[in-house]
Amino acid sequence: MGLFLVNWIGERKIFMDKQDRTTKRYVFVTLLNVIITIAEFFGGIISGSLSLLSDAVHNLSDVGAIVLSFVAHLISKRNRNKNKTFGYQRAETLVAFTNGVILIVISLVLFIEAIERFWNPEHIKGGVMLVVALIGLIANFISMFAMHRDAKGNLNVRSTFVHMMSDALSSLAVVIGASFIYFWKIDWLDPILTMLVSLFVLHEAYEITMKATNVLMESNPDIDLKKINQIVLSYPEVKNIHHVHIWRYSDDYIMLDAHLNVDKNLTCGEFEDLCQRIGRELKDQLGVNHINLQEECERGRNDKMIVERGKEN
């Protein structure tokens, strides 16, 4: 896997590109989480702490998710070709969906495990565990903040950020639990903190998974069709708009495809100018940045914006 990543970086010349901060952050976060995982495995073995070992397993699964996101990030940079005429940007959406599902499964497993620990409490040695957990906590927070900057504008990066956040919260729960266990022998706090962290991560994972699902299903990205209708019909040359399809292709592209009924005397040059004016307004007001408008005269003149399946002209 390491050789594959190096080849990808060399081929695309991304690693050496100072402008691609996200790629460098992926490399940094991946290496940091590998170190965390190794430290927690050895710490769990030395201290005899199953909680620390389970957190190490959690981190190990996240390393795989980060690598997966990193590879998708590199793939998304590839140019369009005859096989992928839209390009490769949806590779990141696919991985965001996969990571979201993985996070949901991990959250549910941790929640169930926390419930079981109420009936089968485990004795935890707090000394070495607390030191290793503190190191993991600091490293996880560094990883989380490293990915935070790009998390708002990229669903794939956000899925990685949520993985890092779940690790940081998990490490925080281990630190708090280890502290109370070490100083006050309160064993029941550990499963309670685990349940709270699991519920929080489950909520975030659900949001990511649903957003990725909507992109893959080409859902309407919360744009009011009535507003589209109002903007388009405000141009006197347009008599009707129908057969409308609007969807989010990726984090950067919202696409619109529609048929416009116009006067039959409208020339190609005039229609092209009309499309440019409509496109600028749709982009400025609604954020639609890839528009395809088809000119028609009488066909579909009485159709609605959304044509039911099987009734297309």
Q: Are 189 and 117 within 8 A, CB to CB?
A: no
CATH number at 1-217: 1.20.1510
| Strand intervals (E) in the chain | 238-248, 254-262, 290-296
Model pLDDT for residues 98-124, shown as the tens digit of each residue:
988 988 888 888 788 778 877 777 666
Domain boundaries, the chain: 1-217, 225-296
Q: What is the pTM of this model?
A: 0.74
**pLDDT surpassing 80 at residue 36:** yes
Give the mean model confidence (pLDDT) for residues 278-290.
Answer: 94
Q: How confident is the model at residue 258 (pLDDT cuts 50, 70, 90)?
A: very high
> What pLDDT score was predicted for residue 254?
93
**pLDDT surpassing 90 at residue 227:** yes
Q: How confident is the model at residue 58 (pLDDT cuts 50, 70, 90)?
A: low
Q: Are 99 and 65 within 8 A, CB to CB?
A: yes
Q: Give the gyration radius of the chain's Cα atoms.
A: 26
Model pLDDT for residues 84-103, shown as the tens digit of each residue:
888 888 888 898 899 889 88
Q: Count the Cβ atoms, other than its own, within 10 Å of residue 253.
A: 15
**pLDDT surpassing 70 at residue 10:** no
How far is residue 204 CA from its own chain's centroid?
Answer: 10
Q: Of 3.30.70.1350, 3.30.300.30, 1.50.10.20, 2.50.20.10, which CATH number belongs to 225-296?
A: 3.30.70.1350
Q: Are 140 and 167 within 8 A, CB to CB?
A: yes
Give the mean model confidence (pLDDT) for residues 46-53.
Answer: 65
Q: Treating both helix axes as pointing N-terminal to C-terminal, what angle do 225-233 and 268-286 enclose, rounded to 10 degrees?
A: 140
**pLDDT surpassing 90 at residue 147:** no
